[in-house]
Amino acid sequence: MAGMARMAVVLFNLGGPNSLEAVQPFLFNLFNDPAIMNLPGPIRYALAKVISWRRAPIARDIYARLGGHSPLLEQTQTQAEALEDLLKARGHDVRCLIAMRYWEPYIREAVARVRTLKPDHLVLLPLYPQYSGTTAGSSLTQWNEEASKVGLTVRTHKVCCYPTEPGFVKALRDLTAVEVAKARTVGEPIVLFSAHGLPRKIIEAGDPYQKQVEETVAAVVAALGEPRVEARLCFQSRVGPMEWIGPSTEDEIARAGALGRPVVVVPVAFVSEHSETLVELDLEYAHFAQNHGVPLYLRVPTVGRHPAFIGGLADLVERAVRVDGGPSSHINHRICDSVCKRCPHRQVAAA
């Protein structure tokens, strides 16, 4: 990365509907992803049509409570702007772009912009600290497909994960410590690190997500430096009848209520505010906590534009270009635990 080489950074996120009319097609795009439903194409398409039609009324109600659209794009834009500003301050000639998996701006649109920019280096940076084939993996696969369609050739560097990246951990630690101090005005809190759940069969097939979330929790608890803090990992947003990883966030809230303990909820796998934080955590789970005797329910903000988090992202970008070759993380070429057969590094090594 000598001199002023031109660089483009693409930040990947899930995306969200920008109107109530967009809710059903957004859901269809989500459930038609083979990384979400690993079924033959025609069957997956038909099921996605049915599921999106059935879930659309519930989802529209959720987004109506958020002003009629998802705030995720605006959140991601502010992060991209902050990252671009910091990288420029570090001396880089850089443009930061956004690519959403299931709604606008789509990945194919970001591919087109990169072709126009003609950078010397391209860094693909998922805004998912913990790797899963259903999130970062799906986005990176889609990028490869769209880039191949238009013959995009640029020196590309991929960030796969950063579950214990120091800036990310510091941001979570700082934000969590504030809410823990507030909770202690009524008692010693239980700190619930809540992550989006996944069907157990995906984890059992070797997806690294759960283990990496556990690593994040351990790192944040260590950074808090308070042995008396009771921290528990739990999972939210279950959908459908299949078995999901647990324990559930609701069960842990109910347990805290039975003990008469205040609760501090930390969104450990989300870096931006959206429906799972603003509605599920802030409204639905807060109401659930009140009904189950929790004396005080507090929710830690997502890391958003926290300077330590943005600094960590900038470090990841610089490291990815330096390391070169294969997916990278904050510890360069990361190899997950041997049970994580779907770790992207392990898959590259086995190819």
Domains 6-15+70-161+306-350 and 166-299 share a fold: yes
pLDDT of residue 339: 76
Phi-psi region of 15 (alpha: psi -120 to 50; beta: other; left: phi over 0): left
The structure tokens listed for 315 are 């470090």
- Angle at alpha carbon of residue 267, lines to 261 and 268, rounded to 5°: 110
pLDDT of residue 351: 38
Q: Is 276 labelled as part of a ligand binding site?
A: yes
Parts of the chain with a pLDDT under 70: 1-3, 325, 332-335, 345-351
pLDDT of residue 347: 57
pLDDT of residue 101: 95
pLDDT of residue 346: 63
Alpha carbon distance, N-terminus to C-terminus of the chain? 28
Residue range 52-64, pLDDT digits in tens: 999 999 999 999 9
Annotation: CATH topology of 166-299 = Rossmann fold (3.40.50)
Pairing assessment for the beta strands 6-13 and 93-100 based on DSSP bridges: parallel
pLDDT of residue 329: 81
Per DSSP, helices labelled H in 66-165 are 72-89, 107-117, 136-149
Using alpha carbons only, how large is the chain's radius of gyration in Å?
20
Give the residue extent of every domain in the chain: 6-15+70-161+306-350, 20-64, 166-299
The structure tokens listed for 12 are 């990947």
> pTM to 2 decimals?
0.93
Q: Say if domain 6-15+70-161+306-350 classifies as CATH 3.30.1490.20.
A: no
Q: Is 252 labelled as part of a ligand binding site?
A: no
pLDDT of residue 224: 96
